[in-house]
Amino acid sequence: MEGNHEKARVRLCYLCNQRRAALKRPKTLEQICRECFYEVFEEEIHQVIVKNQLFKPGERIAIGASGGKDSTVLAYVLSELNRRHNYGLDLFLLSVDEGITGYRDDSLETVKRNELQYGLPLKIVSYKDLYGWTMDEIVKTIGLKNNCTFCGVFRRQALDRGAALLKVDKLVTGHNADDIAETVLLNILRGDIARLSRCTSITTGEDGPIPRCKPFKYTYEKEIVMYAYFKRLDYFSTECIYSPNAYRGFAREFIKDLERMRPRAILDIIKSGEDFRISTSTKMPEQGICERCGYISSQKWCKACVLLEGLNKGLPKLGIGRSRGLDNNHRKDVKQINGTKNIEGKQCGSLDF
């Protein structure tokens, strides 16, 4: 009798109706067991990969690995799915060392352990080797304002350069559904139509050096954290010591509030972003080649070259924001180098990582 009462009190998994429910799934609020959680989590990602034809058999794929939860779970799940479903992919880990003491050096140790744990070859490219500057040195020069603009621009190119060294066909990143919803909002708030039109694409850069894919496009951040926790994955969770992220932080908090009230809000924002139609009268930037380094650019020089020129000339504001605070000569420098457009500040590179 007592046993029956006990059984009645135990909540069974909503999906298998056999095992004890161990968690409330953030995306659907269903009470499910761990085994079913692993299954639905991995299966949803597999379906996204298949439906969007993200990979072809035999392709070499670099996984952008920072040691954080998203890229660690991505490396783990992609290795599992590659084995389970015979994708036939050659997987690599690709990390960027920005040169941030006390942050990136520690997180890279995690990636080095992941290399052994998952048996995936690792390539690390550094800002110091590519640009002659570490982020520690850049912050010493420019302070804590605009540091993420430099970092984001440099990281984007560093990943492309690392991918070229690895001779991969594609680069996958751990951007999750929360990141994408946040980016949709930020691009609306900034009126950045060019980025708004492509930020929800699951694959970008097909006309550039290396296409980038986001297999976690519909995967909730909370579920990634739960998965990493239950699977006891080895990841690094400290925030960057130079992270200001005030504006992005507000957008993130806003999305978290919406999610608390209605979990579907994240998917709905992504859907809204996907359904935006760009008016044909909106002038879009034309893709060309940087005259200095040959990287893709819609201006005479790519963003990294403009920022580097500023750093090397001792004019770190060159190419940042609206050239306020620059004298006429410097203003002329910006115009000469970059046509008429300046570079918009961008936080933590996660828009473009």
CA distances from 42 to 82, 85, 179 (A): 11, 11, 19
Best CA proximity match to 164, nearest among 62, 71, 74, 63: 62
The residue range among 33-41, 227-235, 238-246, 260-268 that interacts with ligand SF4, by the rule CB under 6 A, is 238-246
Best CA proximity match to 236, nearest among 38, 65, 64, 99: 65
The residue range among 20-28, 191-199, 235-243, 279-287 that interacts with ligand SF4, by the rule CB under 6 A, is 235-243
One of 49, 125, 135, 186 touching ligand SF4 (CB under 6 A)? 135
Count other Cβ atoms within 10 Å, centred on residue 67: 24
Query: 126 among the known binding-site residues?
Result: no
Report if residue 242 touches ligand SF4, rule: CB under 6 A.
yes
Q: Lay out the site mask for ligand SF4 across 54-93 (x = CB under 6 A, - = otherwise).
A: ----------------------------------------
Report if residue 157 touches ligand SF4, rule: CB under 6 A.
no
Report if residue 147 touches ligand SF4, rule: CB under 6 A.
yes
**Strand, coil or helix: what is 272?**
helix
One of 148, 177, 290, 351 touching ligand SF4 (CB under 6 A)? 148
Report if residue 98 touches ligand SF4, rule: CB under 6 A.
yes
Report if residue 273 touches ligand SF4, rule: CB under 6 A.
no
CB 210 within 8 A of CB 80: no
Query: 96 among the known binding-site residues?
Result: yes
The DSSP symbol for 66 reads -
Q: Which amino acid is at 87?
A: Y
CB 312 within 8 A of CB 337: no
> Between helices 135-142 and 147-166, what is the axis angle to 10°?
160
CB 319 within 8 A of CB 342: yes
Q: For ligand SF4, which is the closer residue by CB, 63 or 240?
A: 240
Closest approach of Cβ 47 to ligand SF4, in Å? Answer: 31
Report if residue 349 touches ligand SF4, rule: CB under 6 A.
yes
Query: 70 among the known binding-site residues?
Result: yes
Query: Cα separation of 279 and 93, whole Å?
Result: 39
One of 15, 81, 120, 151 touching ligand SF4 (CB under 6 A)? 151
Closest approach of Cβ 240 to ligand SF4, in Å? Answer: 3
Query: Cα separation of 334 and 182, whole Å?
Result: 30
Degrees to nearest 5, angle at CA 15 with 13 and 19:
35
One of 91, 348, 351, 352 touching ligand SF4 (CB under 6 A)? 348
Report if residue 243 touches ligand SF4, rule: CB under 6 A.
yes
Query: Cα separation of 254 and 36, whole Å?
Result: 30
Q: Which residues are annotated as a binding site?
A: 64-66, 70, 96, 174, 179
**Interface residues toward ligand SF4, by CB under 6 A:** 98, 135, 147-148, 151-152, 240, 242-243, 348-349
